[in-house]
Structure 1
């Protein structure tokens, strides 16, 4: 491990070895930096920076609230740091779905959205998805918030938040409550492994269609993902605001990013460069996490609420790179000798 890697691990409170091959970059090395809307990124940063406890972050948060030049703020007070762990970068997308549902079982709305069980242990894996679905382990305990379509529930759990529109027009807003801590596995990859689809064919829409066309095998397919998410009602969040992220603050479409906090500190600005159908060059803020988001170059882009956002999120699976912006002094204290070579 390099001196810089060790310093990063200590700065983030990580075990030694968790951070690997970090490089300090210049803003001129960030492709598309000059043309981004830095003001939009600053607004997202201010949303959560007040919750950062370290003194340097607190000082920057105060300055962020007063500045009228967002680009200069980031360039003066932050240093870009590229953190890599040997794995290829991967960007996916997520969104806040709006589902149809009911407060009682009604026709197609038969899958309960459960709140957090009181006896969920504080650590270690608990009941699997199959044990909850098939075994009815939570039935009759008054944990049901609403009922939705079973396939919609599965994708709601992947997104971690959503809205359920009831027959009378009322909306129940849901936020992540807890999980059973069973391992997450991709049912899209499972379909590929079974020879049903090629990797390039798999999308959320394709998976939904296959499960509904094959109800018996589809239910068994969903059970291969043992992970299960419980929810809480968050109706205090105004309808025009984004759902709550891991920092318990509203996240911002196309400016909030889910990251692995073992490598990227929550609340930090993060520059992303994605290479795909909808290429992005954008400053975002690490404000969320996800059970499938693991690695120094792994991130999930929040696309917003509703069906259109869901379509954009569902087709996002891009390579590229992301660069964390750290307070200048914090980054320079980690510098061995010279800035990194241009990327």
Structure 2
């Protein structure tokens, strides 16, 4: 009864000195291990924090706070790189199942012929190569949370078995005949529009409704740009810490450039970009001069360059695009833009007039 209430060990009277010393030593060692584990867990969970102070992110955090303590299934949608996995972890962390396993399955990364074995396990000898019994993800997550990432890429055959598992609370290993009860909360995520996939015959309508009890949409980064400074500062700190680099800051001009980009790869792309900037920048500050590491990536705010027409027309379009980008970088300050481009200010004015580049409220000239 005492050990159930938290006692480390029991000592009977009269006390044995050697046993007492061993017990105390073991208790201290166990306490240190527990403390180290808690610190490690805090570090890992810290990396999984959902960052953002925008209205959209506050709305998501509010939904997580309300839904996490329940066993309701949640379908998380959104583009690649928007943090769908972080939302799933937050839901598990806030649930009554948080002391149990969080098991993740990337349905897109597993060959269709192996997905059933991965999810439900298999019996020894059930197919060629099945040399031992395998416990599937559903059984591993028993009592905890199962996160089915990229659920839209799952085969129809596997979808049917997942549906049965959700409806009946039991699974059957591949090659087996025994029904195994499982107590699992299922969270799922996809970057596909499942309603469209249903129309194409690629996804089961009944499974969709089973999974989509609580829908949560992870917004694209371009939809909450005001969170970029918070994300950038966090990523800078993380990169510096991991690589033993002295803490760096980022200039306002450099931050403004990051704010103007489209970020088609969303938060994941921003994180990778910040890591490049921290590592490639000299000194203690990330300034605008290092941003050429982006080159002409797909996230460029200037958009795609049309390649139709004559060569002369193409050159003019490219020049207009380049000048516009430089003006935006320098907040439409013509003097600074001309200096950066190493041309006369009057020459820049001529080209701006030629290409119709103007801003109502220009900076100091």
Q: So what's the TM-score if we normalise by structure 2?
A: 0.20
Greater strand proportion: 1
Greater helix proportion: 2
CA radius of gyration, larger in: 2
